[in-house]
Amino acid sequence: MTGTRPEVRVMPDLAASADSAGFPRIPPAFARMGDVVLAGDPPRLGISVDGGRAAFVGPRGLTRLPITDCTTAWRIG
């Protein structure tokens, strides 16, 4: 934790928007619980949860996908 509040800017794509917060990118396989992940088709941001899965907001609540379906992750904290 840096003690500063991250600022996110809206960019042309989700990966660039997430990068604007300043958190380091990591391979999805190394994502820990609470790290932000990006899954594609359609592109969407979610959160890494237990057991190698990630949770995303879907039309009927939370959707869980294997972390291997994610293309990028950002270490938070």
Contact 18, 12 (CB under 8 A): no
pLDDT digits (tens, 9 = 90+) for 16-56: 988 998 999 999 999 999 999 999 888 999 999 988 999 99
pLDDT tens digits along 45-70: 999 998 899 999 988 999 999 999 99
| Residue 2 banded pLDDT, cuts 50, 70, 90 | low
The candidate with the shortest Cα–Cα distance to 41, out of 30, 53, 28, 56, is 56
Tell me how far CA of residue 16 lies from CA of 5, 9, 35, 53, in angstroms: 18, 9, 16, 23
* DSSP-based three-state secondary structure for 60: coil
Backbone angles phi, psi at 28, to 5 degrees: -55, -30
How much is the pLDDT for 3? 64
Task: State residue 5's pLDDT score.
Answer: 73
| Residue appearing with tokens 């294997």 | 66
